[in-house]
Amino acid sequence: MTNQTRLASADELESIFQRELVSDRWAATETAYALAVRHRDLGDWPKSREWVEQCLRLLEGFPSETEEQVATGRTSVGGVQLPTYLHAGVVQERFGNLG
């Protein structure tokens, strides 16, 4: 578990993502979003875009008809604030259209 007073590094977040991907795909989706934010904040636009795309791919596997289905389970990952609801529209609003 990362210390909540310190921001996790991108490498730490990637390690968390890899563990979550096999055990909890929704948590992995949240972490992919956090990685996109972290790389954007570091100014690494290509890496941020990769994680946005990964987040969107993972989101495709989840229903999104109700607020309960898109509600995030955590408020932050590795010190990165998560949105209250996580779906493709939110990701595109925060990162722009990748198309």
5 lies in some domain: no
Cα gap 65→9, rounded to integer Å: 33
65 lies in some domain: yes
Q: What total number of domains does the chain contain?
A: 1
28 lies in some domain: yes
**Tens of pLDDT, residues 68-88:** 999 999 999 999 999 999 999
Give, in order, the Cα–Cα distances in Å from 81 to each of 26, 37, 61: 16, 9, 23
4 lies in some domain: no
Number of CB atoms found within 10 A of residue 46's CB: 7
Q: Which domain holds residue 73?
A: 10-95
67 lies in some domain: yes
**Tens of pLDDT, residues 15-46:** 999 999 999 999 999 999 999 999 999 999 99
What is the per-residue pLDDT for 1? 47
pLDDT confidence bin for 2, thresholds 50/70/90:
very low
Check pLDDT > 70 for residue 48: yes
85 lies in some domain: yes
Say whether 85 sits in a helix, a strand or coil.
strand
2 lies in some domain: no
